[in-house]
Amino acid sequence: MRQPERTDQPAPVQGPPAPAAPRTPSAKQQLRELDRRLSVLESLAVGSGHKRGVMERGLGWSPEINERGFSLYSTDGNNRLHLNGGIQADYHGYPDGQTGHAPGAEPDGFVLRRLRPILDFRIANYFRGQIMPDLAPRRRSELFNAFIDWDYYDWARVRIGQYKPVLNVENQQGEFDLVFAERSLVQNFALRRDFGATVTGRIIDRHVRYDLGVFNSGNGAIGPASVPEPSVDNNKLGMARVMVTPFLLKGPEAFRKLDIGVGVLYGNCTNSPCQQPMMSMGQDRTIFQYQPTVVGNGFSTRVLPQMTWFWRRLGVMSAFVHTWEPKIDKSMGKAALLQNEAWMAQAEVSLTDDEPAFNRVTPRRPFDLAKKGHWGAWTVAARYSEQRIDPQAFGLNFADATQYVQTTKGTSFAVNWYASREFRYQWIWEHSEFQGANQTYAAPRTSDMLIFRFTLIY
């Protein structure tokens, strides 16, 4: 039989009271904290909102910007300072010597070509910008870039300040990314750097990129030098460019990286020649310059068809420029509409299993003696460029026919060793042929220049 339960058992001893259960954050609080942490991680890993290259490549930020340099972030990841830059040291040699009769000629010697600390910054995830001086002693220390970007929308980005307009595809390429030591003869007629504002964007599934800008009158801004002079009048230059990548998503794979387009520069020029002294491709001598009394005489137009194409071990770039420039000699009263032009075509071929790119080669196997087969990337490159000045410029004595050139033909060859993404060595030969406007031309008719360049990017 079941025994009845006993009711006279002693009561259990009570211990100390149990601690209160910790307060659990609400789901909303947890979600907010996870979102904050994810924002910080994204900023540290890839840079919040980083897109195309801010460094000489138009608006936005480049993905590779996180692979070098030094960065400082705010706690929430929305503000960022990034210190990077580059150094280029050259040796310039002239096998045939320099006679001294060529204007602007330089002797053999070592040259610190570029010394550029670059400060990129982001503010509140809406504004980006760059400050870049050049401290190389061969010229005055100058502020090259100082601009602000607003790029909330991929189809409409705004840049304001001093920078390089992307009128010419060569100019869009950064100095530390150039296949050769300097740009081609086309740069003599292109807008190099200036003060202004630009709206740019990619539309139609990123197949089309457009650039619209307005800049100062171009006094000292058109030509090979990098620093514009302050404006001397109220005139402005309007710029427009359209680049199309027709096979970006569909079509032949070999043409996925084909970009073709055209740029136009239009504006008034009255108080200056609106033209820097023109240089040879090695920038070793001045090949054309207007008389001091020659200035612009109205609206000028420059049209620049251009293209780039990269496929496997091959990289190709080409550009052409034709100008319509009214000029007048204020002392003599002579006036004319000059039509000048220049063009270039270049190709780079990789000798190793690497691919040329618009923003330089990234070696698949960076140089490392401790690893077998890690010799970096090796490429060879060739370029031809030609420039023709309107004969009227010499017939009306707008320029000195005894020392300046009517037709210039330049040929370049280069061997490039990309030891890593940060180190590069270049061996470059520049050959130029010069033809004067008439029999009075007395400057040298040919020039050969050897350039040995070391580039360090940090």
Mean pLDDT of 353-371: 94
Structural contact between residues 151 and 136, judged by C-beta atoms closer than 8 angstroms: no
pLDDT band at 346 (very low <50, low <70, confident <90, very high): very high
Give residue 22's pLDDT: 52
The fraction of the chain above a pLDDT of 70, given in percent, is 83
What is the reported pLDDT for 353? 96
The helix (run of H) or strand (run of E) holding residue 38 is: helix 27-45
Q: Are strands 208-216 and 298-311 parallel, antiparallel or unpaired?
A: unpaired
As a whole number of angstroms, the distance between CA 197 and CA 190 comes to: 17
Residue 206 has which token pair? 């990123």
> Poorest-confidence range of 51-55, 252-256, 258-262, 359-363?
51-55
7 pLDDT more than 60 = no
- The beta strand positions in 164-297, using DSSP E, are 194-203, 208-216, 236-244, 258-269, 278-279, 286-288, 294-296
What's the CATH number for 44-457? 2.40.160.10
pLDDT at 23: 57
Over residues 227-243, the pLDDT tens digits come to: 777 777 788 899 999 99
Q: How far apart are the first and last CA of the chain?
A: 92
Residue 282 and residue 429: Cα distance in Å, rounded? 9
Give the confidence band of 220 by pLDDT, cuts at 50, 70, 90.
low
pLDDT of residue 259: 97
Partner residues linked to 431 by β-bridges: 411, 448
Is 70 exceeded by the pLDDT of residue 50? Answer: no
Q: What is the mean pLDDT of residues 142-154?
A: 91
CA separation for the pair 183, 428 (Å, rounded): 13
pLDDT at 263 (0 to 100): 97
> pLDDT category, 19, cuts 50, 70, 90?
low
Torsion of Cα atoms, 425 then 368 then 358 then 209, to 10°: -150
* Token pair recorded at residue 409: 């033909």
Rounded CA separation 77/72 (Å) = 9
Which of the two residues, 372 and 49, has the higher pLDDT score? Answer: 372
Angstrom distances, CA of residue 312 to CA of 11, 372, 382: 86, 23, 17
Q: How many CB atoms lie within 10 A of CB 25?
A: 11
pLDDT for residue 16 is more than 60: no
| Pairwise pLDDT comparison (458 vs 382), residue with the higher score | 382
d(CA 63, CA 53): 7
Consecutive H or E run containing 40: helix 27-45
CA dist., res. 176 & res. 418, Å (int): 12
Q: How far is CA 62 from CA 49, 59, 71, 168, 231, in A?
A: 10, 9, 14, 20, 31
Confidence label for 42 from pLDDT (cuts 50, 70 and 90): low
Q: How do beta strands 80-93 and 109-123 pair? A: antiparallel
**Alpha-carbon Rg of the chain, whole angstroms?**
29
pLDDT at 240: 97
What does the mean pLDDT of the chain come to? 86
Q: State the pLDDT at residue 245.
A: 96
Are the CB atoms for 308 and 332 separated by under 8 Å?
Answer: no
